[in-house]
Amino acid sequence: MSDPSNTDVTREQAEEAVRVLLRWAGEDPSREGLLDTPKRVVKAYGDWFSGYTEDPGEYLRRTFEEVEGYDELVVLRGIEFESHCEHHMAPIIGRAHVGYLPDKKVVGISKLARVVDGYARRFQVQEKLTAQIANCIQETLQPRGVGVVIDASHECMTTRGVHKRGVSMVTSQMLGTFREDARTRAEFLRFIDIDGH
């Protein structure tokens, strides 16, 4: 990955694995167009899976308490992300919507997007990704409640297997008042334009 000290696999071994896959697919890794492909693939993997080298909760540890008593919903919607399915290593492309009810402190909104990326840049299943984001926000910020909704397209289903395009999967995780209070949940879903219809 991007930090070789965290793994016992060398960059050279990773590049050789790409050459093996190219040969397995019927290609010649020594032909001109593919000579640098192993290096490029390993570099891309370093970017795509950089979430393994970071702690998403760290982004939420710097908070602001001077908010003039603000205690209403905070929502960041439409956070675009790219992830990869842990079953087929195929892309998952989607949007996350994150909301929380602060309890005396708020966090910079870009930090919420960084939490999404921190978990998305790992091999994932969408249900786990949704829960990880919500749990991280709940455990680190300790708000009165958290809501996370993810709407994503899975290339493992659109480009192979059943080949169904235009299909997206929606998952949600509601914690605290988002789970306990139907009005809070409904307000969050209204904010992100998802009302159950």
- Tens digits of per-residue pLDDT, 90-137? 999 999 999 999 998 899 999 999 999 999 999 999 999 999 999 999
> Is 126 in the active site?
yes
Question: Is the domain defined by 11-51 classed in CATH 3.30.590.10?
Answer: no
Point out the catalytic residue in the list 84, 97, 126, 138.
126
> Is 86 in the active site?
yes
Residue 95 is encoded by which pair of tokens? 């949007």
> Is 58 in the active site?
no
Point out the catalytic residue in the list 82, 88, 142, 187.
88
State the fold for domain 54-192.
GTP Cyclohydrolase I, domain 2 (3.30.1130)
- Tens digits of per-residue pLDDT, 48-75? 999 999 999 999 998 888 777 788 999 9
> Is 124 in the active site?
no
Q: Is 156 annotated as a binding residue?
A: yes
Q: Under a CB-based contact definition with an 8 Å cutoff, are residues 2 and 121 in contact?
A: no
Residue 61 is encoded by which pair of tokens? 């540890």
AA letter at 81:
F
Torsion of CA 175, 180, 183, 186, to 10 degrees: 40
> Is 87 in the active site?
yes
Q: How many CB atoms lie within 10 A of CB 121?
A: 22
Q: Evaluate the CA torsion angle 88, 93, 83, 179 in order and state its sign.
A: negative
Domain residue limits, the chain: 11-51, 54-192
Point out the catalytic residue in the list 86, 142, 155, 187.
86
Point out the catalytic residue in the list 82, 142, 155, 156.
156
Q: Residue 91, Cα to own-chain centre: how many angstroms?
A: 11
Given a cut of 80, whether residue 170 has pLDDT beyond it is yes
> Is 154 in the active site?
yes
